[in-house]
Structure 1
């Protein structure tokens, strides 16, 4: 029989925090009086994460290990876990213990009591984050809100979803799917549960500035075409500026106050060049997304699933 609850945990090189995570998660799930599975998606880890997962699986039969053949990224690993989960309800949570597992029971209770499809974990207290992290996160959610993205403020990837919600998300044709934006876009009935964001229990963050920037770019281009309109406005502003410069040059020439020199010319050239490059860059991002969508390449490959493949058997390859 399929379990009622699936807990999907994407992880990459989490050998330091993994035992601590299992130590906190298991009592929570065992005390919920419901059948469950813990789908641990190993996103191509190069440390001892696979070994620790196999050891935990022998001690904790509800653990299910799904290993990807290569590192596919946080969002792709999460989608892989959701696609293979069997539960009627699914929770996505990271292994770093910044999102407390104890909130899972409250999420499931709220979903059943209020008859909603999605329960977002909302970070009401982020004092453990750095000032830079808090500022950039607040700016991200505000920008997404201005672009028309739904969802709760400070709700990242800690959420509970119904089977119907997950099926709808996985049916979306997007290649670079950002779940924190794709799920609210569906508009399914939802609720929120607040919690205090904790410091990482061990190990190092797997989301450096470069990945944060990539996530932001994927989010912006995936949720709205407003940047394209921004490029159009920049182009119009460039034409207006060019016209004003032309009028100024003609008046200066007629009044005998024309200024010779290369500084003003270079400023104008650099300004227009910057506008053009910005517009081309924005257009390129959207063209790139179309190119990736037309290729329709799988975002990940499954190397091993403990539910289907014996530990000593051959490995399969799945999309």
Structure 2
């Protein structure tokens, strides 16, 4: 029996979002129904510990286009996106967060732009982030400035994981051997024809943010260590500067000894040792990031583990290799 291939798939990572899920469904379903095309919505439950699985099960009963993919444990936002991309069957695949800060209505505009101009990627770019906290705006601006300097100007400024991809782009992404993907950098790296749709970022519809400062730092580390050797070069230059400083201090100490000058010594020596020790720890930490990535790759463990997929009878999935496990 042939399975209808939807024109559009929408991948929605979900983690402990029992409060906002009904609001999200009320907002996005009329938009997708109004497109007058075959679609599917893949809600990827990233190991939620609240009533999210029950809410999704209830939503499925009267929303036939909704598919639920449940990960056995919390694997992170990017890995939840990976699970959805591997299982999306649409000719176009959109990804959006469930908190409604990215307006679902923009998906229709993205799809029209892609179809009319033949684009493979349409980025959702946040033209107005006034609803974010000042700290969030500052850290986001710093992140994008550093990423564009290190990775390249091809990375759209203020573009997160709200985007539309063609089947060509999805197949290219799912064929990559990334264990810790950062899609806001991977997608521009593909170099496919791309466009942008701007929108105003809204306030969170309900609940609290699931992306605290710790996860933001982790994303930044994955971005820099996964796409550039610049951190290693920074460590190298800091090490060279530390050595040069030690040579200067050593020369000054030798000159003082030869001239017979009494040097207190303890304070300067203590500061120098602390400075050099800090540089060593920084360099070791940066090297450790790369070693950890190599270790993860050598283990070959899947980035996520699926415990339930509401469309297990769908056609076989292409370009998945041996990365994901389905239980």
- For residue 150 of structure 2, what is the aligned residue in structure 1? 147
1:180 aligns with 2:184: yes
| Cα deviation, residue 59, structure 1 | 1.1
Deviations 1:44-76 (A, max 9, x none): 111111111111111111111111111111110
Name structure 2 gaps, 5 residues minimum: 315-324
- For residue 65 of structure 1, what is the aligned residue in structure 2? 68
- For residue 94 of structure 1, what is the aligned residue in structure 2? 97
| Cα deviation, residue 231, structure 1 | 1.1
Structure 2 length-normalised TM: 0.93
1:12 alignment partner, one of 7, 11, 15: 15
Deviations 1:201-246 (A, max 9, x none): 0001100111111111111101100011111111111121111112
Q: Aligned partners of 1:309, 1:200: CA distance in 2, in Å? A: 35
Q: Aligned partners of 1:91, 1:258: CA distance in 2, in Å? A: 71
Q: Aligned partners of 1:308, 1:285: CA distance in 2, in Å? A: 37
- For residue 171 of structure 1, what is the aligned residue in structure 2? 175
Q: Aligned partners of 1:53, 1:134: CA distance in 2, in Å? A: 32
Q: Aligned partners of 1:183, 1:14: CA distance in 2, in Å? A: 27
Q: Aligned partners of 1:43, 1:242: CA distance in 2, in Å? A: 50
| Misfit runs of 4+, over 3 Å | none
Q: Aligned partners of 2:249, 2:235: CA distance in 1, in Å? A: 21
Q: Aligned partners of 2:96, 2:27: CA distance in 1, in Å? A: 13
Q: Aligned partners of 1:286, 1:171: CA distance in 2, in Å? A: 22
1:260 alignment partner, one of 248, 264, 273: 264
Q: Is the 8 A contact 1:118 1:190 kept in 2?
A: yes
Structure 1 length-normalised TM: 0.96
1:124 alignment partner, one of 124, 127, 142: 127
RMSD (Å) for aligned C-alpha atoms: 1.3
- For residue 270 of structure 1, what is the aligned residue in structure 2? 274
Q: Aligned partners of 1:245, 1:261: CA distance in 2, in Å? A: 11
Mapping of residues 226-241 of structure 1, within 5 Å: 226-241=230-245
More displaced 10-residue stretch of structure 1: 245-254 or 268-277: 245-254
- For residue 160 of structure 1, what is the aligned residue in structure 2? 164
Q: Aligned partners of 2:159, 2:190: CA distance in 1, in Å? A: 16
Name structure 1 gaps, 5 residues minimum: 311-316
Q: Is the 8 A contact 1:249 1:258 kept in 2?
A: no
- For residue 37 of structure 2, what is the aligned residue in structure 1? 34
Q: Aligned partners of 1:67, 1:93: CA distance in 2, in Å? A: 17
| Cα deviation, residue 278, structure 1 | 0.7
Deviations 1:247-269 (A, max 9, x none): 21122223332312411110010
